[in-house]
C-alpha cells in the first residue's frame, strides 16, 4: 500500500541499555495505531526516532515511498523535511501568538485557503470564535485541540502523538478524544499514538501494538488484544485481574469456581487462570443474574464447593456509581481465596450473604504460571 509510515527492524540503545529491540510498525493512511505499554517500555523512544528527533541507530523508516532513515547507509532526513506532524503531551503552544497564529505557524504558505481551513477546523473542534485568544486564556482541553490542529495544519502524511490526552481531567478527556478522533478520520492522516492508558488505546485505535521491554509482544485490533491476550502481561495490562492456580489435567484446569480449557498446555503444567472482575455474574442464592449482551459463553459454577453447597460468601460490597465492586470468598486446596467482581448498577449484598457465581469465559485467560509476557 502506498503512503503511511513503515518502520522496519528498529533498534535503539542508550549506552549499553537497549530500549527498543527489533521493532517493526506499519501505519496505513487513515489508520490510527496505538503503541501501548508501561513507562520505560520504549514507546516514546520509538516515536522520537520516527520523528527524526533522535538519530536512528539500526533499521529503516519510510514515510510513504520515501526512505527517511536508514541505519545501514546513515541516511537521515531532518524532521522538518519528513512531512510529519508532531504533538507532545505538553502541547508547547507559543504564548506570544494567538490561537490562529499558533495553528498556522508551521505552514509554509500562509494563504487565505489555509486560514479558512484553520477557522473551519476550530469550529469543528468546538473552538469557534477563539482564534484571537492567547493560549493562557484556554483550558487544558482547548489547548490540546489547538496543538492537534497545529500539527495537522501543514497537511502531513503522518501524525505522531505522544500521550496527547494525559494532561486532561477524566471528565474532559472523553469529549476531547472523541473530537480528536473525528478530526483524524476526516484528514485521512496515518497516525501513530503513544499511550500508557489501555482505555485510551481501546477508544482511539484501529490497531494496538503492546510493547514490553523494548519489543512488540502483541499486535491486533482492540477486541483481539482485550479478549485474546497472548501473554499474562497483556491480560494484566488492562487492570486488576483475579488469579487462580492449579495443575493441568486432561486438557483442563480445575479451580475453585470451575474448570477451564487449557488449550495446548501439557499435562502436569502449573497454570493460572486470569479472570477480569467484569467476567463474573453474581446473584443472591435463589435468584438469577440479569442477562447482558455479549455474556455468552458462560461457564456455570455450581462447581464451587461450600459447606452448605449453596453459593459463596460475600465479604464486602461498595458502589462505584455505574457499577458495584463485590468481593467474595471461594474455597480451594490451598485455603480460601478472595476474588473481586465488578457488577453493573447497584448490587450491594451484605457481608455474609451467599451468592451464586458464573463466569464469562471470553474474559478468563489461562497461562503457565511462569509466563510473564
Q: What is the pLDDT of residues 65-105, one digit of tens each?
A: 999 999 999 999 999 999 999 998 888 899 999 999 999 98
Percent of the chain at pLDDT exceeding 70: 92
Q: What is the pLDDT of residues 171-190, one digit of tens each?
A: 788 888 999 999 999 899 99
pLDDT at position 286: 81
3-class SS at 341?
A: strand
Using 70 as the pLDDT threshold, list the residues of the chain that sit under it. Answer: 1-2, 289-310, 332-334, 371-373
pLDDT at position 293: 54
pLDDT at position 295: 54
pLDDT at position 300: 46
Residues forming beta bridges with residue 298, ordered by sequence position: 360
CA distances from 307 to 69, 258, 331, 354 (A): 67, 17, 10, 12
Q: Of 322, 326, 331, 330, whose CA–CA distance to 350 is shortest? A: 326
CA distances from 310 to 240, 275, 297, 341 (A): 27, 22, 23, 18
Domains of the chain: 5-236 (3.40.50.300), 242-368 (no CATH)
pLDDT at position 311: 75
State the Cα–Cα distance between residues 45 and 54, nearest whole angstrom.
Answer: 8
| Burial class of residue 244 (count of CB atoms within 10 Å of its CB; 0-12, 13-18, 19+) | buried
pLDDT at position 371: 55
pLDDT at position 113: 87
Amino acid at each position: 500500500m502506498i503512503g503511511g509510515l513503515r518502520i522496519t527492524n528498529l533498534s535503539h540503545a542508550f549506552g549499553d541499555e537497549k530500549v527498543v529491540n527489533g521493532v517493526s510498525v506499519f501505519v496505513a493512511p487513515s489508520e490510527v495505531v496505538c503503541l501501548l505499554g508501561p513507562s520505560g517500555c520504549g514507546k516514546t523512544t520509538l516515536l522520537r526516532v520516527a520523528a527524526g528527533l533522535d538519530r536512528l541507530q539500526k533499521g529503516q523508516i519510510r514515510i510513504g515511498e520515501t526512505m527517511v532513515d536508514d541505519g545501514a547507509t546513515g541516511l537521515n532526513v531532518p524532521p522538518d523535511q519528513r512531512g510529519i506532524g508532531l504533538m507532545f503531551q505538553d502541547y508547547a503552544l507559543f504564548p506570544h501568538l494567538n490561537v490562529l497564529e499558533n495553528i498556522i505557524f508551521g505552514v509554509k504558505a500562509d494563504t487565505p485557503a489555509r486560514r479558512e481551513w484553520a477557522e473551519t477546523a476550530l469550529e469543528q473542534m468546538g473552538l469557534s470564535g477563539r482564534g484571537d485568544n492567547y493560549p493562557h486564556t484556554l483550558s487544558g482541553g482547548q489547548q490540546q485541540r489547538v496543538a492537534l490542529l497545529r500539527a495537522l495544519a501543514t497537511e502531513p502524511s503522518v501524525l505522531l502523538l505522544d500521550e496527547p490526552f494525559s494532561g486532561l481531567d477524566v471528565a474532559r478527556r472523553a469529549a476531547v478524544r472523541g473530537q480528536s478522533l473525528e478530526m483524524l478520520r476526516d484528514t485521512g492522516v496515518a497516525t501513530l499514538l503513544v499511550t500508557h492508558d489501555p482505555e485510551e488505546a481501546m477508544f482511539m485505535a484501529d490497531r494496538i501494538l503492546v510493547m514490553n521491554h523494548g519489543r512488540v509482544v502483541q499486535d491486533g485490533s482492540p477486541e483481539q488484544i482485550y479478549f485474546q491476550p497472548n501473554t499474562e502481561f497483556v491480560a494484566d495490562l488492562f487492570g486488576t485481574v483475579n488469579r487462580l492456580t492449579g495443575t493441568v489435567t486432561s486438557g483442563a484446569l480445575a479451580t475453585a469456581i470451575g474448570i477451564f480449557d487449557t488449550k495446548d498446555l501439557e499435562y502436569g503444567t502449573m497454570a493460572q487462570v486470569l479472570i477480569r472482575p467484569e467476567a463474573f455474574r453474581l446473584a443472591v442464592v435463589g435468584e438469577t443474574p440479569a442477562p447482558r449482551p455479549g455474556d455468552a459463553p458462560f461457564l456455570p459454577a455450581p462447581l464451587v464447593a461450600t459447606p452448605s453447597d449453596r453459593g459463596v460468601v460475600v465479604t464486602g460490597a461498595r458502589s462505584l456509581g455505574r457499577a458495584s465492586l463485590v468481593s467474595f470468598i471461594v474455597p480451594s486446596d490451598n485455603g480460601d481465596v478472595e476474588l473481586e467482581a465488578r457488577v453493573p448498577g447497584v448490587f450491594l449484598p451484605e457481608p455474609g450473604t451467599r451468592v451464586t457465581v458464573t463466569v464469562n469465559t471470553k474474559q478468563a485467560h489461562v497461562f503457565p504460571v511462569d509466563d510473564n509476557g
